[in-house]
């Protein structure tokens, strides 16, 4: 532990979305277990989601606290209680949500100006570029946190720099990303919205993020060096100082993937159902299906998925996220008697599933995923091969890394991203039930290819565990980062 005089105090400022908050809370635990006092800026409803985890951390003498700022829903024109991206009634509210997050600047500054002793470092989400002004106003070192891979960071950098995507003649023309260690191709239709749309608002946002990165002392990334060594090295050459400290969720092995990890050892209903189901199935036989925290998938598409899962003849756990659980889908499931028809062979979870617990169970043999980076890292940490079904944002980059570079996944075959703002506009079916069935059969097959894929997934899981062990690359990078901040503040 650090002595009182050089006690570090890090202020963590996450973007208020579940896939940002989860790694930030894990990062808080990691820093605190390295002797740092950590304050996480949250809003009241978001804090409620993480109180239990932080209480557990405190019980282990970790110095973590939350600083709560009221979320300006009304001022930003959002419905009351929309403090997290996953509570928005439709993706159309996203610009207002970003605006509300930007309004947190002033109350944060007010709070800082009242403190007797300022934090020694600000760790800011890349999505909150205004923390750059806060840091310079109070003269606090600031680093940026990226919850995406170095593969994505380097691809994006090289595409933006070369503007290769602006020279293609159509959305479906393949182009090669220049200056990468492998031949990586994309179409414009697969790029994140900010890169493919020619709008001033997006350009401005990208400039702000870039500016925010440039004005920081360096970049923390939720990845590990061994996973994507060539891409980490490549990104280090074009970026500020980079510290790879992931997989963040794996540092706390006491809680990683444990069912019933609350303080009373209780398991809630969906955990209990999943656990019973997983126990009743053979090793590596269950397909887990989940599209993260922000999907809005039309019912027509989900019906195809359901029929494909059924046709595959493999046991499955299918998470229908809150926003995907439409009246139309519910009606169809009921009319088809889908649950009853698949009783014993499939479990449907509506809302939120204990994803890490499911992935780390020995019965889980495959993960059909939208390729969000947290989900990808969790699958990697659990050694589970994936079926890739990217939707939007940087998910096509992650698919490339999973399938082509790491060779631990099978594509379901989507060629174009959906517009996250427009997903309900038409009832597009991009993936047919036959595609779902085929991808599952390919992933789960017992031939040489399937075996090689599973073995690679296991090897990479082993590397991930090594990275977070004492003296491993991520553990060392975390310590180096803390040391560097200590040297600056003293
Ligand atoms: N998650 C979960 N249960 C669910 C859905 C999501 O625990 O039912 C977690 C998942 O484990 C991951 C995060 O939510 O940590 C989703 O982040 P990701 O980056 O994969 O996707 P996003 O939500 O940004 O699309």
pLDDT tens profile 213-222? 999 999 999 9
CA 186 to CA 195: how far, in whole Å?
A: 12
Ligand 1 contact, 98 CB (< 6 A): no
| Residue 224 alpha carbon to ligand 1 centre in Å | 19
Burial of 164 (0-12, 13-18, 19+ CB in 10 A): middle
The best mutation among 16, 17, 18 to test binding of ligand 1, ranked by most ligand atoms within 8 Å of the C-beta, falls on 18
> Residue 195 has what pLDDT?
87
Six-digit token string for 350: 């509506």
Average pLDDT over the chain reads 93
Contact 234, 341 (CB under 8 A): no
Q: Phi, psi at residue 268, to the nearest 5°?
A: -80, 180
pLDDT in tens, 98-145: 999 999 999 999 999 999 999 999 999 999 999 999 999 999 999 999
Six-digit token string for 92: 């159309």
> Residue 202 has what pLDDT?
78
> Residue 395 has what pLDDT?
98
> Residue 198 has what pLDDT?
72
> Residue 264 has what pLDDT?
42
Ligand 1 contact, 18 CB (< 6 A): yes
Contact 122, 112 (CB under 8 A): no
Neighbours of 268 (CB within 10 A): 12
Contact 366, 444 (CB under 8 A): yes
Ligand 1 contact, 408 CB (< 6 A): no
Ligand 1 contact, 24 CB (< 6 A): no
- Can you tell me which atom of ligand 1 is nearest the CA of 19? 17
Which of 94, 97, 45, 35 has its CA nearest to residue 66? 45
Ligand 1 contact, 26 CB (< 6 A): no
Place of tokens 């002004």: 133
| Residue 153 alpha carbon to ligand 1 centre in Å | 20
- Can you tell me which atom of ligand 1 is nearest the CA of 349? 8
Domains and CATH numbers, the chain: 2-261+470-489 (3.40.50.2000), 269-463 (3.40.50.2000)
Ligand 1 contact, 374 CB (< 6 A): yes
| Residue 168 alpha carbon to ligand 1 centre in Å | 33
Residue nearest to atom 5 of ligand 1 (CA): 292
CA 19 to CA 17: how far, in whole Å?
A: 6
- Can you tell me which atom of ligand 1 is nearest the CA of 22? 15
> Residue 422 has what pLDDT?
67
- Name residues whose C-beta falls within 8 Å of residue 114's C-beta, 6 or more positions apart in sequence: none
Identify the segments of the chain with pLDDT beneath 50: 1-2, 261-266
- Can you tell me which atom of ligand 1 is nearest the CA of 372? 20
| Residue 110 alpha carbon to ligand 1 centre in Å | 33
């Amino acid at each position: 532990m650090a002595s009182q005089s050089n006690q570090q105090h890090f202020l963590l400022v996450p973007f208020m979305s579940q896939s940002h908050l989860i790694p930030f809370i894990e990062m808080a635990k990691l820093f605190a277990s390295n002797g740092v006092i950590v304050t996480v800026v949250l809003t009241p409803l978001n804090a409620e989601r993480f109180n239990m985890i932080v209480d557990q951390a405190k019980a282990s003498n970790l110095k973590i606290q939350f600083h709560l700022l009221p979320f300006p829903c009304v001022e930003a024109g959002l419905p009351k209680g929309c403090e997290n991206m996953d509570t928005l009634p439709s993706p159309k509210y996203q610009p207002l949500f970003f605006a509300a997050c930007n309004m947190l600047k002033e109350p944060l500054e007010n709070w800082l100006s009242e403190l007797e002793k300022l934090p020694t470092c600000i760790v800011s989400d890349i999505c909150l570029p205004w923390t750059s002004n806060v840091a310079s106003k109070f003269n606090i070192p600031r680093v940026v946190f990226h919850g995406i891979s170095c593969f994505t960071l380097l691809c994006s950098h090289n595409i933006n720099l070369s503007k290769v995507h602006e020279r293609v003649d159509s959305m479906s023309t393949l182009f090669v990303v220049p200056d990468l260690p492998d031949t990586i191709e994309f179409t414009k239709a697969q790029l994140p919205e900010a890169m493919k749309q020619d709008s001033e608002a997006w350009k401005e946002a990208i400039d702000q993020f870039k500016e925010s990165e440039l004005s920081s002392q360096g970049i923390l990334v939720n990845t590990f060096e061994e996973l994507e060594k060539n891409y980490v090295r490549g990104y280090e050459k074009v970026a500020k100082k980079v510290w790879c400290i992931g997989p963040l969720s794996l540092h706390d092995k006491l809680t990683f993937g444990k069912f019933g990890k609350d303080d009373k050892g209780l398991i809630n209903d969906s955990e209990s159902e999943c656990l019973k189901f997983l126990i009743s199935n053979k090793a590596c036989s269950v397909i887990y299906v989940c599209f993260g925290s922000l999907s809005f998938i039309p019912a027509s598409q989900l019906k195809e998925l359901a029929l494909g899962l059924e046709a595959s003849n493999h046991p499955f756990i299918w998470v229908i996220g809150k926003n995907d659980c439409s009246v139309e889908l519910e009606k169809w499931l009921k009319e088809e008697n889908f649950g009853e028809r698949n009783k014993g062979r499939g479990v449907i979870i509506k809302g939120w599933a204990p994803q890490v617990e499911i992935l780390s169970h020995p019965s889980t043999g495959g993960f059909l995923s939208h390729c969000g980076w947290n989900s990808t890292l969790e699958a990697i940490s659990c050694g589970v091969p994936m079926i890739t079904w990217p939707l939007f944002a940087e998910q096509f980059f992650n698919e490339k890394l999973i399938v082509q570079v790491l060779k631990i996944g099978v594509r379901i075959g989507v060629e174009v991203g959906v517009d996250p703002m427009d997903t309900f506009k038409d009832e597009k079916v991009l993936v047919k039930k036959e595609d779902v069935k085929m991808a599952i059969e390919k992933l789960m097959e017992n031939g040489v290819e399937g075996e090689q894929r599973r073995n690679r997934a296991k090897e990479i899981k082993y590397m991930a565990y090594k990275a977070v062990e004492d003296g491993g690359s991520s553990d060392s990078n975390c310590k180096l980062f803390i040391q560097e901040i200590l040297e600056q503040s003293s």
